[in-house]
Structure 1
Amino acid sequence: MAHRIMSVDDSEIAQEFIRAALSDIGYENLVSFLNPLEAFEALSSGQETADLILVDVMMPEIDGVELCARIRGVKDLVDTPIIMLTSRTDMETLNHAFLAGANDYVTKPFNRIELQARMRSCLRLKSELDRRHSGGGHRRAPRVPVAEMTEVLNNKAGFQAALQAVPAAVHHRFGLTVFRVVGLHEAADRTPSESAEIYGSIGGLLGAVPVPARDIFCHWDKDLFCLATLDATEDSMRRTAQTFIDAVSQVRLSYRESWAKIPLALCATLVLPGKLPPASALGQGIAAAERFANTAGPGIQVTSPVAVGN
């Protein structure tokens, strides 16, 4: 059965563009809402269902971040993937979106191939969560995923599913490390295949770094890589992060931009274990990693996740 997609955007022009874009990539089963409150009422009442929800950030009455938070407050919608569509690139807004429960975001005007890739990733996440929740005649209490971790190596959807499956009683046991490549300029004149080759080379180096079997490593997006660690301390996270950084520096990777040869390095943001759900803490870690890479360059920084409003 075709996936049911919901689009929530107050612009009729944007809705037409979304409908055309989704049709081009094979998603015909679409329901659209111009009013976010009406969309929430339809979802929460069961009048409408969705396998994935696309939400614009800037909307009247309530914005997309608030709508995301309200959707996550409905028990039956906790696992429904949400992708934010935004023309804003400030990480503070995106951080709040992740904390509210968003799974991913696409910046407007979006590339259709990129949107398709992110939608497929989120739909795989939903399938993985549904698979874990279906345990025959009765539902078991969730447990820390250990044996399954090798199944989700380098899989963003699986990484998200594993973090979301962690029960609240053990949130304090999970540390996260967000790695970002330093030296890659967004405005550089690189073809998509050249960028993919760079990411693949770095991913291959990082994927070869030995970590405990119960840890999870994945290529999150472009120049971002993530590691989830069980029973981590700051010292152990620092040592592991340095191992990853050294794996890149020792190879002396570089790429050519115009006439210059640009060296590539790695920086690491350690998100220490706390009370926040790991999936929410990851959003803060990604935001901190973006700021750190843009200002400090290679190295390690430490951050502790905080609840919204703190």
Structure 2
Amino acid sequence: MHILLVDDDPTFSDVIAARLERRDHVSLTLAVSAEHALQLVDAASQPFDCFLLDIMMGDIDGIELCHRLRQHSSYQTTPIIMITASQETPLMEQAFHAGATDFLRKPLDEVELAGRIKSAMLLVDALKREKAGRAALQSVLTSHDPVSGFDISERICLSGVSGILDYHELEKSLLRLQDGLYHISVFRIVVPAFQKASCSRGRSETLQLLRDVSQGILTAAPADTPFMSYIGRGRFLCCVLGRMTGTSETFRTCIQDKVCSMLDARSLDYSDAFEVAVHQLNDHRIISRTAAVALVRSEFERASLSLESLPPVHDIEENIFAETDWLLCDADAGL
């Protein structure tokens, strides 16, 4: 991972450089000002994978630099982590509005820094997967030849479906909620016979099935903007903010009806393979942001470990997670 650190304090930059250069697979370039950073960006033969930007700098501050980087075609989704000594919430709101991914407060803790860098690395990996998936989807949609060899564990970002997020973006959307209690319903949505369907169909049809299921979930969800992600093996995560008027079974029936209608319109017969299972993961309708994040992380980790059985998820004691940050716990081991 190639990181560009932009800070006009050489002492601070040297300290961060010393810490990061001890990490495997991390290379660091230093810039002493926003202008210097933009010159390095223009001259780089390969795009940077991540940016660390100090907010308070000279003529061009970190927020303006973040905004300019987002205008660059190569950096519209690259992780940008802001660094600040300020405690002002409006300042961070401006940074997020400019396109920042995350932020750190000075003085930096080495373990926290490693955790945030690990988070950025996960996001970089997800973005690369999305780019590869987008290219593969374009290839199969423009090809008349059947494509086989679909890996059911592949966590594809279905970029053609408006409203679906990569998992890490879904998590960050939850983390950006203000700390507190919310009406949130977290669902695991599964196509049980997805493996059978993917084996009997080409890659193009399998991808289209996932797109249709995604669209069916988004249409059926009792909210204008549900947070949803595909996490592999025919499994989706869906977080609905707001009061639920129906039951999980009502939600499931609505999804299945809408997807079947789309399949019928495409003249695709999945009558022997298509069914949707919907499981609500939280018993209480009002839960904290922390509890919601813990639920989605648990599901994502379960899917990533390729567990065939999915045990029921019971209520989470929210105080267990009150001081927990999974990115920091194993930061040293992972980097």
TM range, smaller chain:
0.5 to 0.7
CA distance in 1, matches of 2:118, 2:106: 18
Distance 1:228 1:64, change over 3 A: farther
Contact conserved, 1:25 with 1:112, CA < 8 A, in 2? Answer: no
Shift of 1:42: 2.2
Deviations 1:82-103 (Å, cap 9, x if unpaired)?
1111111211111111111111
Pair 1:52 & 2:50 matched: yes
Shift of 1:116: 0.9
CA distance in 1, matches of 2:317, 2:243: 26
List runs of 5+ in structure 1 lacking aligned partners: 164-174, 183-205, 219-226, 256-263, 265-310
Instruction: Compare CA radii of gyration and give the structure with the larger one.
Output: 2
Deviations 1:282-308 (Å, cap 9, x if unpaired)?
xxxxxxxxxxxxxxxxxxxxxxxxxxx
Shift of 1:35: 1.6
Pair 1:142 & 2:157 matched: no
| Aligned amino acid, residue 91 of structure 2 | T
Alignment of 1:17-36 (within 5 A): 17-26=15-24, 28-36=26-34
Partner of 1:243: 285
Shift of 1:243: 1.5
CA distance in 1, matches of 2:32, 2:85: 17
- SS of the aligned residue for 1:117 comes to helix
Alignment of 1:108-127 (within 5 A): 108-127=106-125
CA distance in 2, matches of 1:66, 1:57: 9
Alignment of 1:276-295 (within 5 A): none
Pair 1:95 & 2:93 matched: yes
CA distance in 2, matches of 1:177, 1:39: 27
- SS of the aligned residue for 1:113 comes to helix
Contact conserved, 2:186 with 2:239, CA < 8 A, in 1? Answer: no
Partner of 2:13: 15
The alignment yields a C-alpha RMSD, in angstroms, of 4.2
**If the length of structure 2 is used for normalisation, what is the TM-score?**
0.49
| Aligned amino acid, residue 286 of structure 2 | F
| Aligned amino acid, residue 161 of structure 2 | R
Size of the alignment, in residue pairs?
198
Partner of 2:67: 69
CA distance in 2, matches of 1:61, 1:53: 19
Q: Percent identity?
A: 23
Partner of 1:180: 179
Partner of 2:170: 159
Deviations 1:125-178 (Å, cap 9, x if unpaired)?
1211221122238478632365x87xx3xxxx25268x7xxxxxxxxxxx9982
List runs of 5+ in structure 2 lacking aligned partners: 142-158, 190-216, 218-225, 230-237, 246-281, 292-314, 323-335
CA distance in 1, matches of 2:137, 2:227: 30
Contact conserved, 2:288 with 2:318, CA < 8 A, in 1? Answer: no
Shift of 1:6: 0.8
- SS of the aligned residue for 2:13 comes to helix
Which is worse superposed, 112-121 or 127-136? 127-136
Contact conserved, 2:81 with 2:102, CA < 8 A, in 1? Answer: yes
